[in-house]
Structure 1
Amino acid sequence: MEQRILGRTGRPVSVIGLGTWQLGADWGDVREEEARAVLEAAYEGGVRFFDTADVYGDGLSERRIGSFLHERGIDDVVVATKAGRRMPQTPQIYSLDNLRAWTDRSRAHLRVQTLDLVQLHCPPTAVYGTDAVFDALDTLVEEGRIARYGVSVETRAEALTAIARPNVASVQLILNMMRLGPLAEVLPAARAAGVGIIVRVPLASGLLSGRYDENTTFAANDHRTFNRDGSAFDVGETFSGVDFATGLEAVRRLAPLVPDGATMAQFALRWIIDQPGVSTVIPGARTPEQVRTNAAAADLAPLPAETVAAVEAVYRELIAPQLGDRW
């Protein structure tokens, strides 16, 4: 699989990575053997970037990744975790002592001395402008607890503030055919600064898989059931903030653009890979077949200009009026 350098980490990563929220929580239950099969399929398919967080299953996702890599003796996968969402969100919690404790916990879960990449996990907006937080992260680098650090953001303004900081290695954000906001300013700024871009929610919580319709239901403990109104966390993380019915209509209009021999999900992933400045995209998966299908998107040819224009037209007509400038 094609690899790209992940910004200021200097590390090569596969253009298709693996998001592992599903292996911890909030997407229904995933048994141990199912999680291991997903990780196996990802590695065998050329995936060399795993993204996790300390809050996914309260560390379950991290522990599953750590066990898999340790038991297989694998050392060529870059693992990015996130920190900060296990406590009520105020700027004050992002202290050196807390960051040290959080990263030490993740080091134990992932069975490593030094974490490859730690990302602030969508912290309060004020954190991005707080020098002491980034001084603390620099201290963790100096102590050898982490190799590099980045941020996971909700808004374009947060991304731009982070990109301007000299030691931020990467920015993780939502970008997909229903979330075009970062294209105009954020991605060019990241490229100019040498900051990596990690794309999450690439399939709009599964909408862009093309597998859902008006009769689709989700488990009670799946965020696509309990967070449609944003009552648990930022609603932009669920279906990219798009109303479910509107999202279904957008997918129906996008479906005729899918290249011959490709799936809707592969089309959506290829569109992201084609955006200048993107380092890696991290679709989640609950089954080995989903992993293999996602990885195969890297083999598709770049999309023609007329297809890209047609995607933008659907976005402008259906999605942009609903999202506005929120993200």
Structure 2
Amino acid sequence: MPFARLATATTPTCHIGLGLAAVGRPGYINLGRDQDLGENRSVDTLRTRTHELLDAAYAQGVRYFDAARSYGRSEEFLAEWLNARPAFDDIVVGSKWGYTYTADWSTDAEKHEVKDHTLQTYERQRAESDALLGARLDLYQIHSVTPDSPALTDKDLHARLAEAAAQGLTIGFSTSGPDQAAAIRAALAVTVDGEPLFRTVQSTYNALETSAAPALAEAHDAGLTVIVKEGMANGRLADPYAPDALKAVAGETELGCDAVALALILRQPWAGVVLSGAATTVQLGSNLHAAAVDLDESQLERLGSLVEEPGAYWERRGQLPWH
């Protein structure tokens, strides 16, 4: 598996990855986006910003980079950066299929992405990803699986994914929504010719939403690499939006709320890679301080009080505006 490359890394940040959702397209649901990106969000401006982030991340020890077909031009930006750096052969590249980007580089589109987990969409988007990333693509994930996703029961799709796995591509899935644990357990049961299909799982887990933890532990025990997304809860755990308890702990550590929030995830024994969703190099540098945060029992107890009921968490997330 490509993630074995990370297992031998020695940098403190080897378990932190960079996700490109926030910079691959002009509109997203993260809080503070106007301050992060400003008014100029042209393709060239975000391409330059993405390349700067990738350079900064690699220089500081980050080796996993995460894109998706629905993240605007994220695969394109990443591919350009990789093509200019052929010697960077210690990188692990992941992308996702299952959502189609439909906003046409607009921040006020009626719909920004459309979900479709059919075999037809997989074949179309796999060809699109291959055209950009080619042999640099290590991991291909089904984007945002829920318990009712047809991707969990479509035998023809499973066969095609197994073919890709036999050719060397690692197959994974990501989850979203209040029933992540059920989706993870259903995916763990998917087999082809008696062998598990999926080798990685990417799920939302943070100080506010912890419901997937038991299932993620099960996935880890079953041999899957666990990737954690949305560790900052779309900006809700970053200054100035962070809850008071998190701000207090951050003050005690003399680091940012973001570093503390990500450190809370890094200490989970099942967490293989924790994604930074930084939109600026300053944010990225602050996120990477998470590797140096050491939380004591009192601090962990206070942070534990932040947990929300999953339904309420996802309802609030669904109300965040694209901007």
TM-score (norm 1): 0.76
Question: Does 1:304 pair with 2:296?
Answer: yes
Please show how residues 52-131 of structure 1 align to structure 2 within 5 Å.
52-57=67-72, 60-73=73-86, 74-86=88-100, 88-91=114-117, 93=118, 95=119, 98-110=121-133, 112-113=134-135, 115-123=137-145, 125-131=149-155
Aligned mates of 1:254, 1:300 — CA distance in 2: 13
AA aligned to 2:183 is: E
Q: Name the CA distance, whole Å, in 1 between partners of 2:125 and 2:276.
A: 25
2-structure distance, mates of 1:37, 1:252: 32
How far is 1:181 from its partner? Answer: 0.6
| 1:1-327 aligned within 5 A | 10-12=4-6, 14-25=14-25, 26-27=27-28, 29=41, 31-57=46-72, 60-73=73-86, 74-86=88-100, 88-91=114-117, 93=118, 95=119, 98-110=121-133, 112-113=134-135, 115-123=137-145, 125-142=149-166, 144=167, 147-154=169-176, 155-165=180-190, 166-183=196-213, 185-212=214-241, 251-258=243-250, 259-301=252-294, 303-315=295-307, 319-320=308-309, 323=312
Shift of 1:88: 4.8
d(CA) in 1 for partners of 2:314 and 2:71? 29
Note the residue ranges of structure 2 that are not aligned, 5 or more in a row: 8-13, 29-36, 101-112, 191-195, 318-323
1:271-310: CA deviation from partner (whole Å, max 9, x where unpaired): 0001120011112112111111112211223x22222222
Measured after TM superposition, the shift of residue 270 of structure 1 is: 0.3
3-state SS of the aligned residue for 1:262? coil
Structure 2 CA distance for aligned equivalents of residues 61 and 314 of structure 1: 32
Q: Is the 8 A contact 2:184 2:216 kept in 1?
A: no
Distance 1:310 1:62, change over 3 A: same
Deviation at 1:325, TM superposition (A): 9.7
How far the C-alpha of 1:130 sits from its partner, in A, is 3.0
Cα displacement (A) at 1:133: 2.2
Aligned residues: 271
Change (3 A) 1:88 1:40: closer
Query: What value does the CA root-mean-square deviation take over the aligned residues?
Result: 2.5
Judging by fraction of residues, say which structure has more helix. Answer: 1
Q: Among the aligned pairs, what percent are the same residue?
A: 27
The Cα shift of 1:257 comes to 1.8
Q: In structure 2, what residue type is equivalent to 1:103?
A: R
Indicate if the aligned counterparts of 1:190 and 1:197 stay in contact, CA closer than 8 A: yes
Does structure 1 conserve the Cα–Cα contact (< 8 Å) formed by 2:98 and 2:116? no
Report if the CA contact (8 A) 1:163-1:171 is conserved. no
CA, structure 1 residues 187+141, in 2 after alignment: closer, same or farther (shift >3 Å)?
closer
Q: Which has the higher contact order (CA 8 A, sep 6+)?
A: 1
